[in-house]
Amino acid sequence: MRLNKFLSACGVASRRKCDEIILSGQVSVNGKVVTELGVSVNEKKDVVAFDGKVVTLPKQFVYLKLNKPKGYACTKSDEKGRKTIFDLVESNVRLINVGRLDYDTEGLIFLTNDGEFANLVTHPKFHFEKEYQVTVEGEMKESELAVLRAGVVENGVRMPKAKVKFLSFDGKFTKVSVVIDEGQNHQVRRMFDCIGRSIRLLKRVRIGAVTLGGLTRGKTKPMTEEEIAFFKENV
């Protein structure tokens, strides 16, 4: 098995992130530091360590969905000393976050010790939809929504099209649904910046067929077999 795949399967990080970890010299195989990509290991015989600690394949996989609040970073340890989503989770196994949400964005995110599942959900070639509820100040015009649907132009480059639906206007704030199937950095916020709209609240409510539902902010819930199977069966 390729070393990056083994590390990912052990729940260290996504496969792409594991490549970075290997290149940084944080991984050893049978006591020897490995800094080259493409190395293979025998998962039954070789001893693999990350940051000096031996890692092994999980005997049982854990899949959780979390309703991330604003004010939490999607990382194991934050260089700025901010609270992280792992402060919200009690688990005796090493978990990784599947993708990310901005510090000021709330909503649905997955946590697991199955690196292959994480790679599956986040890999750009599979185009799993992500739905966000966006709240902005004032009343949005249909012409603005049309621009978002067609793909806004940022610095001369057209961003991907999006599915955009008006949800409500309460006299002060407009709420819309935005569905994207690509994972560009800060994509939704950048879309609204391009039309001169500042987002008041950004909340992810769906990934693929899995919805946030009534999950309380800051709480986790095990994913169902059907929810897990959706991603494994639709690739």
Catalytic residues: 102
Q: What's the CA gap between 27 and 3, in Å, rounded? A: 9
Tell if the pTM clears 0.85, that is, is over it.
no
Mean pLDDT calculated for residue range 164-172: 97
**Phi-psi map region of 124: left, alpha, beta (phi>0 left; psi -120 to 50 alpha):** alpha
Query: Measuring CA to CA, which residue among 96, 20, 94, 111 is closest to residue 56?
Result: 94
| pLDDT tens digit sequence for 103-139 | 999 999 999 998 889 888 988 888 899 999 999 999 9
| Structure confidence at residue 11 as a pLDDT band (50, 70, 90) | confident
Q: Which domains does the chain have, with CATH numbers?
A: 3-54 (3.10.290.10), 63-125+219-233 (3.30.70.580), 129-207 (3.30.70.1560)
Mean pLDDT calculated for residue range 12-36: 91
DSSP string for 209-235:
TEE-TTPPTT-EEEPPHHHHHHHHH--
pLDDT of residue 233: 86
Q: What's the CA gap between 10 and 114, in Å, rounded? A: 7
| Cβ atoms of 140 and 197 closer than 8 Å | yes
pLDDT of residue 98: 93
Both tokens assigned to 35: 């800094």
Place of tokens 């992810």: 204
Mean pLDDT calculated for residue range 211-221: 95
